[in-house]
Amino acid sequence: MPHRVLVADSSEVRTSVARAFHLAGADVCLAYGKERTGAPSVLNGAELETSRTGPLGHFLVVVFHQSRENLWRLAEKAGASADTSVWYTTEGTPTFVAQHREDLGPGIQSRRITPGQPLSVDEARTIIETSVAIAEGRAPNPLPDLYLPPPAGPEYLSALAILCQGYLAVAASSGQLRDDDEALVAMGWPEAKEDIKRIVRAGVQERWPEVQTSRWWLEALGFPVSPEGRGQLESKVEDEAASLKASVGDLKILLGELEPQNEAIGAKVVSGAYLHLAAVLGSQSCE
């Protein structure tokens, strides 16, 4: 039985991408356009001219233009699902970020696909074969040249989120925050088992003075405890946030508190910073 492939794109290369998969032996559906109506137009078959109605069903892989992700979302609402995902761009630098992939199955960024550099039938076969391997838990290493290496993760934003969780756990264990604090709820603290909370409280209560100091934060992140160190961290954070097309938001307040002599970084400041980080990076949990 042919593998099913869904191409979700409304750019000028959509038909050539879909045809490459058809010629590679796949059963292809093409979702495109009509974003304003709340439903994608879907074509299938060799000529890609027959409208398909009803649930779309399950696909081996969804292949979509990174700026037309909403088409996949619409197709998903119409009943589509997929084992894996592949996305591409037709211009500029690929910027699709990790958290967008979470509900698309394991995903990979392919090379740019343009009218002058169309997807070849051999490349379509490679995508099918690689998607089968990924779905079966045997992804090739290294990946074929068609695929771009994954982008580097947001190292300092992720590290700050972990430090915020540590600080908030100490604050909760020391009675500085109620269990229904919004940040504690976001990281799953109220749902943690009581015996786990008791272990955490016993081990960290005495660290409350320490986690309030800028030294604790800057040294954990590998920066000197100085105005220069704080500035270096702020620069790294701003660069990572920009790469994710996100603002620094309430994290800016926490960064401003990391002056060398500060020994009273407040729980509400860290709570606000963590909520912003959770929104940027995706939900964090200590469960």
Between the two ends of the chain, the Cα-to-Cα distance in Å is: 42
* pLDDT greater than 80 at residue 89: no
Residues with Cβ within 8 Å of residue 151, at least 6 apart in sequence: 94, 97, 98, 109, 243
Of the given ranges (105-109, 161-165, 240-244), which has the lowest mean pLDDT? 105-109
**Stronger pLDDT, 98 or 273, i.e. the higher one:** 273
Q: Domain locations in the chain?
A: 4-135, 155-281
pLDDT digits 0-9 by tens, 232-245: 899 889 888 887 88
Mean pLDDT, the chain, rounded, equals 76
Alpha helix stretches (DSSP H) within the chain: 14-23, 69-77, 121-135, 155-173, 182-186, 194-204, 208-211, 214-220, 227-243, 251-257, 267-281
* pLDDT greater than 60 at residue 49: no
Distance of CA 47 to the CA centre of its chain: 35
Tell me the CATH number of domain 4-135, given options 3.30.420, 3.30.1070, 3.40.50, 3.30.1380: 3.40.50
Based on the number of CB atoms within 10 Å of its own CB, is 243 exposed (0-12), middle (13-18) or buried (19 or more)? middle
* CA-to-CA separations, 95 to 88, 91, 223, in angstroms, rounded: 10, 11, 28
CA distance 59 to 164: 39
**Stronger pLDDT, 216 or 109, i.e. the higher one:** 216
Provide the whole-model pTM.
0.48
Q: Kindly indicate the confidence band of residue 67, based on its pLDDT and cuts at 50, 70 and 90.
A: low
**Stronger pLDDT, 20 or 193, i.e. the higher one:** 20
Contact 12, 90 (CB under 8 A): yes
Average pLDDT over residues 148-162: 74
pLDDT digits 0-9 by tens, 187-230: 887 777 676 667 666 666 678 888 899 998 998 887 888 999 89
Give the Cα-Cα-Cα angle 60, 62, 64 (nearest 5 degrees): 160
Q: Which residues pair with 84 in a beta bridge?
A: 61
Contact 127, 86 (CB under 8 A): yes
